[in-house]
Chains A and B, each alone.
Chain A
Amino acid sequence: MEKNFNLEIISPEKILLSDKVNSVTIPSFEGEMTILSDHIPLITFLRPGIIEIHESKKKKFFTEEGTVEFSNNNLIILASTIIDLENLTKDKISGMLKESKDLLSKGNLNDKAVYVNSHKIDCLSKINL
C-alpha cells in the first residue's frame, strides 16, 4: 500500500500548498533528493531548482532557495522565492537568467554564490514551457 505524508509549502506571503502526497523531489543543497513517507527526520537547504510533487496530478515549483524540515511524516518547505511553474513565463525566465549571468560575470562573488547562481542558470535554461 502506498503511504502518504503531509506536505506544506509556505512562502512569507502565504501557504502555497498543503496536501497529502506520496513523494516529493527537492533540489537539496548537495544534490537532488526524493522524500517518501517515513523518511528519517531531516533538515536541509535548497538550492535553485524544481520542487516536484508526484501525485495523480503532478505539480512543479521553481524555487531559488529555501529550508526544508521533515519530521513525523510532516514535510515543511519554507521558501522565500517560489513560483508555480504554470505561472512562469518565458519573459520571467529570461529576466532571471540575465540577472544571474550578470552577477556571475561581475566575478567578485564567493564560492557559494557562484555555486548557487550557476545552478540557477542551469535549472532555468532547462525549463521548457
Chain B
Amino acid sequence: MENFTPLSALIGGTFIGLGALLLMAALGRIAGISGIASQAIFQKQDRSWRLAFVAGLLLGPLLVTLVIKDFSFSTPELGPRTIIAGLLVGLGTAWGSGCTSGHGVCGIGRFSLRSITATLIFMAVGVLVASLF
C-alpha cells in the first residue's frame, strides 16, 4: 500500500463533490459526465451549458499544472485494448445511463437504488477484469 495517497484523494474527492453539487444547486442537473458529454455532441437541445461544462472539464488539469509545477500523470499505451476499452466504456455508459460521476457520486449521493446497483456492478466487473488481465 505504499502508493496510498489519502490526502490528495480526499482533497480531489471534495472538489469533485463540490463541482457536482454546484451543477445541481444552480442548474438543477445531475453531473453525469458521460451523459453531459454525449448529449453535448449528439443532441441540439440544451447544448450550450453542456459544452461549457465539457470545456471546464478539459481545462481543469491545465490549471492544476499551472499551480502544482511538478504535476504529471501517465497515459495508457496505444493499442487494440485502448480502442476496445473506449468502445465498451461508451456503449456501457450510454446503455447504463451513467458512469462513475452520474451513478457513483450523484446517484448514490441521492440514494438512488438504480445508481447504487449500477455502481456495484461496474465496480465488481472492473475489479474482476483489472485483477485477471
Question: Do A and B actually bind?
Answer: no
